Each structure stands twice: as structure tokens, then as C-alpha cells.
Structure 1
């Protein structure tokens, strides 16, 4: 499977030195990133747990590398989607068994801690929340049943054939498809391209 990922240039240094590159879990959980939002931590941990059921993590607190399988074109267009900071675009060829794919747009349901489903199912969930006293912005996460319903609904972002016409999602051919994997190995690397990042442009 061909995938692409935008990483700090140190990632390439690891690979060229013959070492696998893995995200630093401590940096990922540093102030200003994951630990500044309970719902973001919940979403990332949920995705990591799903990957762990498919491929064994290298260590218990590991966090995955995020990759693109398909964006607007076969690979990210750095002219249209300019990264913020300098880095390197890595083009990789990996065993599909190592990658968990998901729908980029539907992934925003876990990120925003919301229910994912058809209009009918979403309305039914909202009604159940209201009946239990959780209105708009209510913290339904303290309710075990509602929490299970929401987390179960996120499975749809892993189903690349799913969309709800006239409600949410798009057909497969129009999807932006992302993925997660535990590490980048030296033998995965096909080619690389450095980029500057728009913050550092004159």
C-alpha cells in the first residue's frame, strides 16, 4: 500500500540511519497539544486502540504515525495545502496489515466527541440525551450507555464504504482517506521531499 506522511526532518534522519521512526509519546502529550483537551485525547486513544487490535503496538503507551492514503490527488499537494512548519514529505510503501485506514471527514466525529450516524440515528441519540437531561453541550460522557453508543458509532469512520446521503459523508471515490501505523521502517521509504512551511516564508 502506498501512503504519504508529513513529518519533522528528524524522521528522515532516523530512516537514513537505518532506524525506525516512531512518534515520541511524551512530546505528543506535552502541554499545548493532546493534554489540553479531554475529547482529543479520547479520540486519539480510541484510534490507537483500534490499531492495536489489528497490529501489536511496540510499547503500551505508543501513539501512531498518521499517514495519507488518498487526499485530493494521489498524494498531498503542498502547493495547495501548505504545512505550517518545515518538514519532509515521505512517500512510503507498506504492508496493508500495518495500516488502519479511516475517512478523514468522518474522523471529525471522534475529534468533536459527537455521535456519528444517519440523520434518523442522530436524532434518536439527541432525543435520548434530552430525556436524560443532557441538552446542548451536556456532558453525556458520565452516562455509561450513551458513552458506549457514541464510541460504537465512531466505527463508521473506519468503514470506507459508509456515508449517509444528504446528511453526512461522501461516496468512496470522493473520500479523503487517512491512516495510522505504529512506525515507519527504513525499508518503507520510497522517496522524500523537503518543504519550508508557510510560517518561514518571506
Structure 2
């Protein structure tokens, strides 16, 4: 199955020397260390071949070039969009929007009633247990508030270089400010 990842050009160059692409804790967003660690715990639980490497973040669909150049790296940073051919069993998929519930340290409720019970400390599921729902794509599609999954993201461990193709190199332009209404 094809997956896509955006990497800093230096990470790509280092990967070519090593023979594999790997995640790097230094590039994790500050303040989300606990959440990234939680994701790695889930990878241990759900991916049989995962050996504890820092995750490489993936997309299931090729991101549009304009979005890549505007949103993935800081302005004027050289980057590369890569395509990797991976076994589906080696990638833990989740809904991109649902992942933000985890990043915001929220409770992932499947109904208003469940959320109210959780707020009253009467819910039979812990907050961290509710986060595991981000991987249940069938559940997410059936929940009225979510409707349908628009973006699937994935995580995996090291990726052998022979499984990667360069789509294109770019220089990040930075986010375009939103237009006034």
C-alpha cells in the first residue's frame, strides 16, 4: 500500500546514508511528548513488527503540493515529499481530526450522554482508553458527529530506503493567511 510522508531535506539525506528513514524525537511538537509516547505504546500493542522506533508520520493519500509547501515545514525550509510502499500491517492508521482529541488531552466520547457521564465521573471508561477509538475507523464513520473520515494519518517505525520514492523536493512557503470575509 502507498503512504506519503513529508520530511526535512536533511532527514532524507541522512536516511539515504543509513539505509532507512526513521522518526526523530527532536522534531516532535513541544508539549505533546506524552501524546507521542502514548501513540508509541499503541504501536507496540497493535503492530506486530514494531520495535520501539520513534514514529514516522504518514498520510494514506498523497497530499496536495500546495498544502505540503505551506503547512508541513517552517517557511524557507527545504523538504521532500516521499512515497513509501509499505505493508498495511506495518502502519497504524487513525483519523487525523480524531487525533486532535488526544493532542488536546480530551475525552473521546461517542455520544453526548457518554460525555456528560464522563464529566460527572460516572463513566466506565478512562480518558486514555477513549483515545483508542481514533483507530476504530468503522466506529468513527458510524458516529453522527464525525460523519465520515476525511483524512487518514498513519505511523510506522523505520522504513527501509528501498521502499521509498521521492515525489518532489520543495522549499516551504509558509502558511497563507486566511482571507477576511
SS of structure 1 residue aligned to 2:21: coil
1:156 positional shift: 0.9
1:190 positional shift: 2.8
Greater per-residue strand proportion: 2
Which residue does the alignment assign to 2:133? 156
User: Is 1:126 aligned with 2:119?
Assistant: yes
Q: Number of residues paired by the alignment?
A: 165
Aligned with 2:64 (options 51, 62, 77): 77
TM-score under structure 1 length normalisation: 0.73
SS of structure 2 residue aligned to 1:102: strand
TM-score under structure 2 length normalisation: 0.80
Whole-angstrom CA distance in 2 between matches of 1:195 and 1:95: 27
Output one character per residue of 1:62-114: Cα deviation in whole Å (capped at 9) or x when no partner: 320100013xxxx1012145133321000111111211000000111110010
User: Is 1:178 aligned with 2:153?
Assistant: yes
Whole-angstrom CA distance in 2 between matches of 1:24 and 1:66: 10
Whole-angstrom CA distance in 2 between matches of 1:55 and 1:14: 27
User: Is 1:113 aligned with 2:105?
Assistant: yes
Contact 2:20 2:158 in 1 (8 A): yes
Uncovered stretches (5+) of structure 1, i.e. residues with no partner: 130-144
Larger radius of gyration: 1
SS of structure 1 residue aligned to 2:89: helix
